[in-house]
Amino acid sequence: MKTNLLDRRTLLKMAGLTALTAALGQGCMARPTATPGPARHRPMPVLVAEDRIIRTDVALRPFRPSGFVVRSVRYDAKTVIHNYGHGGAGISLSWGTAALAVAEAQQTGAQTCAVLGCGAVGLAAARLLQRHGWQVTIYARDLPPATFSNVPGGQWAPVAVCDFSKMTPEFDQQLRLASRFGLRALQDMVGSQYGVRWLDHYILKNEPIQLPWYHENVRDLLPGHVDLQPSEHPFASPYVRRTASLLVDPSIYLNAVMRDFLLAGGRIVVREFNELAEILSLAEPVIVNCTGIGAGSLFADEEIFPVKGQLVVLLPQPEIDYILGAEGMLSMMPRQDAILLGSTREPGVWDLTPNPDEIERVAAGHAKIFNAMRGT
């Protein structure tokens, strides 16, 4: 087995940013971002009560302290291009890392490819390959709506991607590229067809607000950063910031992208792989590995581990048209079919059984916030 680790700096020097831009089929940084949404109104409170909880959703985030993997590995006549380990940012980074994976696939000279996995990352990779003229077959054990990608709220936010204290300059550059390309691709999908929309995002803090990594490094793509005075919002927190944020409804989005893939001539095979030899027996000369947490056992990645997350799911409220993030790892995201309350992080936990203590913490924390809202 021969391994070809394509250096990011070499790739960018050889191909330039325009080549990666072409991988998305658009000029990703060419057009200004419009101010989102209609005239805003005062946020309304979410009704948090035990009798409004309809379920608890649980998923496993595929986390690697050193960050996601996009690289080529040669196995005799086969090329495996890894694209996995996105942590809590699979939807956010899916199109960006797909562009990096496509750039590597283009160097093989092939035009037929297998993609492993039918979540957000696998579907984005498959669609970008199709746009470059590839014949693509997706092999997956689970299809939407049964993937882990169907569980999260879907806010664009490349968080929980890596241990930022261990970030290398090379991965920092890779993450910036994937973040920009990922956000730009989702902007082109805004609308009811894909379940992607701009919403106001209110950030509540007890101390002055510091911009997170992803806001600071793509701030030009996220308009509307405003620190609000108490008279300008109904929340009890001393510090409140409003930004614009993209929200993706996975239940709509994943089905729409899968439909696009099939309409473009793609093929889906439901199949589970238990070992590398089964993968290498596929007929396709190029294999893009988007198996997420499954890459650990299939490709002997000892660094990857699950981070269990769960959401308290409430009955929908049509009047709730904003996102909220607050102290204590609390977040609220509205969908057409439900209100999602999070978030939780349990590193190294494989158990998909809902944690009752976390359900109580998340529900009680949000109830306190919304019960304290003024003038509603």
Q: Which domains does the chain have, with CATH numbers?
A: 39-371 (3.30.9.10)
What sign does the CA torsion over 147, 152, 157, 163 have? Answer: negative
Q: How sure is the predictor about 164, in pLDDT bands with cuts at 50, 70 and 90?
A: confident
Indicate whether 72 pLDDT > 90.
yes
- CB crowding 120-133: b at 16 or more within 10 Å, else e: bbbbbbbbbbbebe
Q: How sure is the predictor about 14, in pLDDT bands with cuts at 50, 70 and 90?
A: very low
Q: Answer yes or no: are the C-beta atoms of 65 and 166 closer than 8 Å.
A: yes
pLDDT, position 40: 67
pLDDT, position 281: 97
pLDDT in tens, 78-106: 999 999 999 999 999 999 999 999 999 99
What sign does the CA torsion over 108, 112, 114, 120 have? Answer: positive
Residue type for position 121: V
Retrieve residue 345's tokens: 């992080």
Apex CA 124: angle with CA 138 and CA 258, to 5°? Answer: 60
Q: SS in 3 state form for the chain?
A: CEEECCCHHHHHHHHHHHHHHHHCCCCCCCCCCCCCCCCCCCCCCCCCCHHHEEEEEEEEEEECCCCCEEEEEEECCEEEEEEECCCCCHHHHHHHHHHHHHHHHHCCCCCEEEEECCCHHHHHHHHHHHHCCCEEEEEECCCCCCCHHHCCCCECCCCCCCCHHHCCHHHHHHHHHHHHHHHHHHHCCEECCCCEEEEEEEEEECCCCCCCHHHHHCHHHCCCCEEECHHHCCCCCCEEEEEEEEEECHHHHHHHHHHHHHHCCCEEEECCCCCHHHHHCCCCCEEEECCHHHHHHHCCCCCCEEEEEEEEEECCCCCCCEEEEECCCEEEEECCCCEEEECCCEECCCCCCCCHHHHHHHHHHHHHHHHCCCCC
Among 290, 292, 316, 286, CA closest to 304: 292
Euclidean distance between CA atoms 177 and 174, whole angstroms: 5
Indicate whether 1 pLDDT > 90.
no
Cβ-based neighbour number of residue 12 at 10 Å: 16
pLDDT, position 225: 85
**Which of these ranges, 1-5, 62-66, 79-83, 328-332, has the smallest mean pLDDT?**
1-5
pLDDT, position 82: 98
Map tokens 């999070």 to a residue.
342
Q: What is the mean pLDDT of the chain?
A: 89
Q: How many residues are listed for the chain in this entry?
A: 376
Q: How sure is the predictor about 45, in pLDDT bands with cuts at 50, 70 and 90?
A: very high
Q: How sure is the predictor about 205, in pLDDT bands with cuts at 50, 70 and 90?
A: very high
Residue 32: is the preceding peptide bond cis (ω within 30°)? Answer: no
Question: Average of pLDDT values for 49-64?
Answer: 96
Q: Answer yes or no: are the C-beta atoms of 136 and 129 closer than 8 Å.
A: yes
Residue type for position 341: L
Indicate whether 17 pLDDT > 70.
no
Whole-number percent of the chain with pLDDT over 70:
88
Map tokens 């909880």 to a residue.
53
Map tokens 């093989």 to a residue.
108
